Structure 1
Amino acid sequence: MHIAANTKISALIKENPAAIEAIASINKHFEKLRNPLLRKVLASRVTIADAARIGGCEVERFYEQLAPLGFTVTAENSTESMEDPVYTSAPELSAFLRSLPAERLHRLDVCEDIATGNDPFRKIMAAVDKVDEGSALLLINTFEPTPLIAILKKKGYSYFTEEKSPDLVHTYFWRSGTAGPQAEESIKPAENNFEETLARFAGKVKRIDVRHLEMPQPMVTILGELETLPAGEALYVVHKRVPQFLLPQLGERGFRVAINEAGPNEVYLLIYRAEK
């Protein structure tokens, strides 16, 4: 397989599962790749270039580890392959932060929310709304918030992540003024005729309950189930809340979702492939 800096980690693993250990051996930053739950949600979003940035190493280090597995580097890798990565932190961020007055850096720590199973989405979005020109948000979390990054990039925010320790990640967000034309649509359910949609898939529904799982495992579990969902069938999910981080992930993968908020800590999702 020919690879370049913009090759997805998931593509490497699909081609040769031994790539998991090859990458994990580069340094401690990549040991989380051995966790199948985290791997499902992160590998499909991250390129070799993104991973190198996160791990603080050169892209060439990946090439060295992957070469014995039969991977070869494309000749045009040096320039073209670096275009349009999945996520790229702006290089000017460090200078931006150094010049930013302390009172203009808003801090939000959601580690306790994650540890207790509370969804911090609304709290985070409320903090994001307070960020204006000349200010930034520092989000303190236990892992790199890849789904949130996807949402905020579409809303016109730049970002930078800094791993302080294996279980402590600082992510900075600030306005870049490049919001996509449909940023708001990406975090809304595709439709909400729940009972009508459920009747349409009568006898063709797989049911899972993710209420007992800690974040981010509900989202990872759902995405994992959708990978093997047969055509013409739907996934019925019992959840404690509307998973706001999951919704844009579904849209990107070609799925629609109907939602029934039955009561406190009782939400039902019906997820199915959009008709072409």
Structure 2
Amino acid sequence: MTEPYELDVRPLLRNGGEPFGAIMGAVGNLAPGQGLRLLATFRPEPLFKVMEAKGFSYFAKPIEGGDWEVLFFPDDVGGTSPAALARDNDPDNWPDPTHYLDCTKMDPPEPMVHILGQLESMPKGQVLFALLGREPVFLFPELQARGHSWVGDFDADGAAFRLMVRAGGA
């Protein structure tokens, strides 16, 4: 398998530039079957649909400093490919949450303890929804280390952080 091509657009973004042209240029120069490892200052949601239309699935994860790493894999047939695993980690493909936790009135580390405890009792593939009073930055590495997939963001008011976690991610 060919190593993914790495493209770091963080410097361009930090200087106010638009990275779309550089990304599409890189995609156009990929070898057959080659993926793209993209480093960005934010989770590039609009790019996911563009890349899907070009035959790529993705796996996105936060990295240090609030930046994001996104691995784009060419789609193929077989179900056990990196692309298939990335599809499993796409929240659009997750089932509706089966467990709900309201952690808005809890102080750290209570939300982390409750969320990890609930996940321990959940079968692989089930989804937990949690509402928190702040972004759980110390929870994210724990979720990753335990093989769970997650997505989260603040609500429209910025008053609560909404978190969805899929138990036993790839």
Higher helix share: 1
Higher strand share: 2
Q: Higher Cα Rg: structure 1 or 2?
A: 1
Normalised to the residue count of structure 1, the TM-score between the two structures is 0.32
